């Protein structure tokens, strides 16, 4: 369990800094390549800049163009991430609405069963209280699920994580002998 948590933290950190890692790998690869083929990149840049002087172009212009392009690319990446997030949010919210509808319908039908059980004289009252508790828990979890703001696996799990019960409140359910 601890190993899984550490792995998730490492993966989260790698995802957070993946563009820096990609840039570092590209820079190291480019540097190694220029060393292997003995290519003097500074000399080539000077030749290019002297070419621009010949036509009266300012070197600072190219620097600012590169800065502009860099920030434009960053903006495109962020807008792409935002677009993906909005699509995820739209899909999540539509799934959530449908799930809420189905679960609420089921809970209403269970209330009918509860009313019938309450009217039955030989129905165990302890079971009826456990039934009420489970319905209240389901409604609480459904409301918590509806209030989620950040669409993230960990955030959703933390939001709907069931509360710990005391030993006398724990219910052991045996479904079909499994």
At residue 18, the 3 state secondary structure works out as helix
Work out the average pLDDT over 18-42. Answer: 81
Q: What per-residue confidence (pLDDT) applies to 178? A: 35
Indicate whether 174 pLDDT > 60.
no
Radius of gyration of the chain (CA): 31
Q: What per-residue confidence (pLDDT) applies to 49? A: 72
Work out the average pLDDT over 110-133. Answer: 82
Identify the band that residue 172 occupies on the pLDDT scale cut at 50, 70 and 90.
very low
CA distance 66 to 60: 10
Whether pTM exceeds 0.75: no
Token pair belonging to 94: 């539509």
Greater confidence, 28 or 162? Answer: 28
Q: In percent, how much of the chain has pLDDT > 90? A: 1
Q: What per-residue confidence (pLDDT) applies to 177? A: 41
Q: What per-residue confidence (pLDDT) applies to 28? A: 87
CA distance 39 to 43: 9
Q: Any idea how long the chain is? A: 178
Instruction: Give domain limits for the chain.
Output: 58-160
Q: In percent, how much of the chain has pLDDT > 70? A: 79
Alpha-helix runs per DSSP H in 17-171: 18-36, 41-54, 59-119, 125-146, 153-160
């Amino acid at each position: 369990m601890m190993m899984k948590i550490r792995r998730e933290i490492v993966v989260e950190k790698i995802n957070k800094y993946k563009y820096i890692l990609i840039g570092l790998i590209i820079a190291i690869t480019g540097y190694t390549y220029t060393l292997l083929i003995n290519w003097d990149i500074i000399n080539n840049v000077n030749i290019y800049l002297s070419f621009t002087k010949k036509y009266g172009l300012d070197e600072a212009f190219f620097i600012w163009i590169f800065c502009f392009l860099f920030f434009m690319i960053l903006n495109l990446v962020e807008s792409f991430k935002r677009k993906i997030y909005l699509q995820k949010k739209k899909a999540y919210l539509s799934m959530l609405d449908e799930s809420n509808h189905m679960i609420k319908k089921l809970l209403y039908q269970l209330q009918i069963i509860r009313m019938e059980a309450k009217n039955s004289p030989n129905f165990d009252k302890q079971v009826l209280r456990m039934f009420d508790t489970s319905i209240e828990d389901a409604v609480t979890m459904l409301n918590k699920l509806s209030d989620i703001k950040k669409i993230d696996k960990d955030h959703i799990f933390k939001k709907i994580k069931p509360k710990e019960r005391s030993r006398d409140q724990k219910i052991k359910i045996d479904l079909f002998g499994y």
